[in-house]
Amino acid sequence: MLYFQKWKLALVALVVGAGLVFAAPNLMSRDKRDSLPDWWQPLSLGLDLQGGSHLLLELNTGELLKDRLEGVVDVVRGALRAERMRYTGLGVKDEAVVATILGDEAARATARKAVRNVIPNADIDVDAEGKLRISYGEKARAEMLEGALSTTLEIIRKRIDELGTREPSIQRQGANRIVVQLPGVSDPKRAREVIGKTARMTFHLLDGETSVQDALKGRVPPGSMLLEGMDAGAKGQKTYYVVRKKVEVAGEHLVDAQPTFDQSRPVVSFRFDALGGRIFGKVTQENVGRNLAIVLDNKVVSAPNIRGPIMQGSGVITGGFTVQGANDLALVLRSGALPTSITFLEERSVGPSLGADSIKAGMIASLVGLGLVIVFMAAAYGLFGLFADVALIVNMVLLIGGLSGIGATLTLPGIAGIVLTMGMAVDANVLIYERMREEVRNGRSVLSSIEAGFGRAFATIFDANITTLVAGALLYQFGSGPVRGFAVTLSLGILSSMFTAVMVTRLQVYLWARRKRPSVLPLPV
Amino acid sequence: MYHGMKFLPEGMRIDFVGKRLIALGMSIVVIVGSMVLLAVHGLNFGIDFAGGIQMEVRSTEKVDLSGLRGKLNGLGVGEIGLQGIGGTGREVMIRIPAFDNETVQNAALKQVREALGPSFEDRRTEVVGPKVGGELVRDGLLAVSLAILAIGAYLWLRFEWQYGVGGMLTLLHDVTATMGLFSITGMEFSLTSVAAVLTIAGYSINDTVVVYDRVRENLRKYKKMPLAELMNLSINEMLSRTILTSGTTVLSVVAIAIFGGEVLRGFALALIWGVIVGTYSSIYISLPVLIYFHLRNTDAVGALEEEEPSRP
């Protein structure tokens, strides 16, 4: 009777030992834990506890498609011209590229073939009236988005790495979103600016024949466009430029950009690849005396005068930058342009002082909660209550060790989960002890009551806890951020409390009973 | 040696089930009241669901609230709410209601930050766009509904269908009553509140399962006992446990409410209410449901009054 199998004893020793090992780094000094391997680290603190920023951003899917279609228009125009086809009304309409091919059946077939050759993965349709329609189906759009998302992820990662943030986390969420977490950054203003810039740079010639006044009245020639300037004018009013639509050199050719100084003003120097350098050389050679506008995300950074041909494939961008402005521009140009613009959907940031306050509050709440429950159990059950208290402390060690071991992040609601676990964990002990009391009242012997208490209460404990686990799992699945942390703590707490109540308490009670051979059950019978 | 203390006298036999009509009436009042409140008064949705901007800032000196209010509302970015917090007079909570789209919202945040100037330290900033808010509402509702269904299904599998229905009704009761509390107090309903609702669901079902387990055991043990009397017996047998567990849980939650700080206070208060409602419902809702759904075909609902109770 009251035999505690050897393997169970070994299991308890193993689990408690593992719990202690995994919980240990939480008590170590910072230097010490930095020298530990990755799998043996303390609990990482959530952004709400250590301070930091959480940004959720979304790719503008509509714009992505529109840009792609506009690109298709140019390609189709080239292809049709190369075949000497006649057509009208080429443009983007209702998420498709449309045109009307003039001519007979043969002309339509040629047009179709020509377009197919240059636009491989789109749906291409030419009807009997010569109406051409090029569109992208679900699958092609999904692929487009997938490509854009992974490019964006990569570029954002590069930009953030250059900002020098400690341990940033950049992850995709769903089909078109990215979550950026920056521990220790409590004001994400600069990060936002650097991440959020599309950084699409192009070089255009200034349209010298059209005055800004005329353009502002709506008289813009077909081959030109009116763009805002990046800097406000002297009195803070907006500045405008009329530039040629034709892209002389595209930003894809940039291979490097660095902040530097020109006559003690911050500027950005850049370098083109070989092809870009040749194009740039040709443009500058042919247009000496004219102005070349540097356009970034549809705004004119500056439009310097071309004083002579620039053949070495590099140059500088001037434009009233601050030192940080020049740094940031160089940074985003180096990392490359985002495939499409992005929108910030959500931003949460916590300053370090609030984080520290939260940790303190959480510690106090935990200790007070633990103390209250310990006293309560001892008062209610005497010696057996103390056994339950030991199990509770072991439970806490296992919970902290478990959370550290799986690399969970401790959040403020997660701390609430730990405190709540303390209150609910002793339920299993209560069920067991109440069962013992009943069994003794029903006339069983002390030892047999003890055994029955553990045996019979187990099914109840199991069913009751599984249902709570179900709630925890759903909380994890549908929760976000800190709430997920809470779900993990609660669920792990349930598992560890089942283990400690059943095994650790049982071990203590059995050892005690074997030594003392009690004639009365030390419970309020 | 100290053997602990008894919370209840020996052999308590409170007639819970006999009072079920009174309890049912009370529950109906609470449930209907909660639903009316939710429909008319609604919930005080926090930024997580409603979207908008919420900032907690701390100044280097005492803040002139009305002056700051005038200054911020002069920006023309919407009606800005200000509230002093923390008792030092230096901390302020700034709330700006939701915007039509993310771009306008981000511009507003920039303006407010500039207006505050460098003497304010950002303690916490939350900016939630209208898109995300709607999704969070959907996810929250989905999580709570699925939890109720999944728990019902588990009880059906492990017990019988009547227990599953009883469990689900109990959960609906508790969830509605908790939402009612949020509505009547005007406490902010946030993501953490959803966590509180689900935790209450978990706690309540835990309590219910413990009593159901005893009912099932007693059904095997006392084959002839009238259902109502068997329920009463089961509840009374578990009463000591119910009180103790509610006690330790409330103790730990009270610790969170008092010491856990501003963020967790609402969460803890909801949980205290949840422990009360959950304990009540596991006695007065989950068990009568079993009677009404004819757990044992041979039993009539009014068996208690007709038969002479017999205990082995």
Question: Is the Cβ pair B139, A380 closer than 8 Å?
Answer: no
Question: Is the Cβ pair B129, A346 closer than 8 Å?
Answer: yes
What pLDDT was estimated at residue A369? 93
> Choosing among A185, A189, A470, which should be mutated to test the B contact, i.e. which has the most B CBs within 10 A?
A470
Contacts of B110 in chain A (CB under 8 A): 189
Contacts of A423 in chain B (CB under 8 A): 248-253
What pLDDT was estimated at residue A193? 86
Closest chain B C-alpha to A50 CA, distance in angstroms? 12
Whether residue A315 contacts residue A301, with contact meaning beta carbons closer than 8 Å, is answered with no
Contacts of B146 in chain A (CB under 8 A): 474, 478
Whether residue A255 contacts residue A272, with contact meaning beta carbons closer than 8 Å, is answered with yes
Question: Is the Cβ pair B258, A365 closer than 8 Å?
Answer: yes
Contacts of A437 in chain B (CB under 8 A): 240
- Residue B295: pLDDT band (50, 70, 90) is low
What pLDDT was estimated at residue A111? 87
Cα A114 to Cα A51, A71, A84: the distances in Å are 57, 16, 11
pLDDT of B37 strictly over 90: yes
pLDDT, tens digit (0-9, with 9 covering 90-100), for A191-218: 888 898 899 899 999 988 888 888 888 8
* Domains delineated in chain A: 6-49+352-516 (1.20.1640.10), 61-141 (3.30.1240.20), 200-323 (3.30.1360.200)
pLDDT, tens digit (0-9, with 9 covering 90-100), for A17-54: 999 999 999 888 888 888 888 888 888 888 888 889 99
Contacts of B235 in chain A (CB under 8 A): none
Query: What is d(CA A379, CA A144) in angstroms, rounded to the nearest whole number?
Result: 66
> Choosing among A368, A431, A441, A483, which should be mutated to test the B contact, i.e. which has the most B CBs within 10 A?
A483
Question: Is the Cβ pair A430, B245 closer than 8 Å?
Answer: yes
pLDDT, tens digit (0-9, with 9 covering 90-100), for A275-314: 999 999 999 999 999 999 999 988 898 898 998 899 888 8
Question: Is the Cβ pair A460, B247 closer than 8 Å?
Answer: no
> Helix count (H) and strand count (E) of chain A?
15, 19
Nearest residue, CB atoms, B210 vs list A413, A431, A487: A431
- What number is the average pLDDT over the span A389-411? 92
A251 Cβ contact list (under 8 Å, min separation 6): A199, A200, A201, A202, A333, A337
Contacts of A376 in chain B (CB under 8 A): 247-248, 251
What pLDDT was estimated at residue A231? 75
What pLDDT was estimated at residue B250? 93
Question: Is the Cβ pair A348, B201 closer than 8 Å?
Answer: no
Query: What is d(CA A522, CA A383) in angstroms, rounded to the nearest whole number?
Result: 7
- Residue A360: pLDDT band (50, 70, 90) is very high
pLDDT, tens digit (0-9, with 9 covering 90-100), for A362-376: 999 999 999 999 999
Query: What is d(CA A376, CA A380) in angstroms, rounded to the nearest whole number?
Result: 6
pLDDT of B128 strictly over 60: yes
Question: Is the Cβ pair A344, B126 closer than 8 Å?
Answer: no
- What number is the average pLDDT over the span A431-460? 91
Q: Find the closest chain B residue to A356 by CA distance.
A: B123
| CB neighbour burial string for A189-223, b if at least 16 within 10 angstroms, e if fewer | eebbebbbbbbbbbbbbbbeebeeeebeeeebeee
- What number is the average pLDDT over the span A55-61? 92
What pLDDT was estimated at residue B312? 44
Instruction: Tally C-beta pairs within 8 A across A and B.
Output: 247
Complex ipTM: 0.83
Question: Is the Cβ pair B122, A187 closer than 8 Å?
Answer: yes
pLDDT of B181 strictly over 90: yes
Q: Token pair of B38, please?
A: 């939710």
pLDDT of B297 strictly over 60: no
pLDDT of B10 strictly over 80: no
pLDDT of A422 strictly over 70: yes
Contacts of B241 in chain A (CB under 8 A): 427, 430-431, 434
Q: Find the closest chain A residue to B207 by CA distance.
A: A464
Q: Which of A95-109, B3-17, B70-84, B132-146 has the highest mean pLDDT?
A: A95-109
pLDDT, tens digit (0-9, with 9 covering 90-100), for A470-511: 878 887 887 766 677 788 888 999 999 999 988 999 999 999
Query: What is d(CA A55, CA A342) in angstroms, rounded to the nearest whole number?
Result: 12
Question: Is the Cβ pair B132, A350 closer than 8 Å?
Answer: no
Q: Find the closest chain A residue to B157 by CA distance.
A: A463
pLDDT, tens digit (0-9, with 9 covering 90-100), for B273-285: 999 999 999 988 8
Query: What is d(CA A445, CA B240) in angstroms, rounded to the nearest whole number?
Result: 21
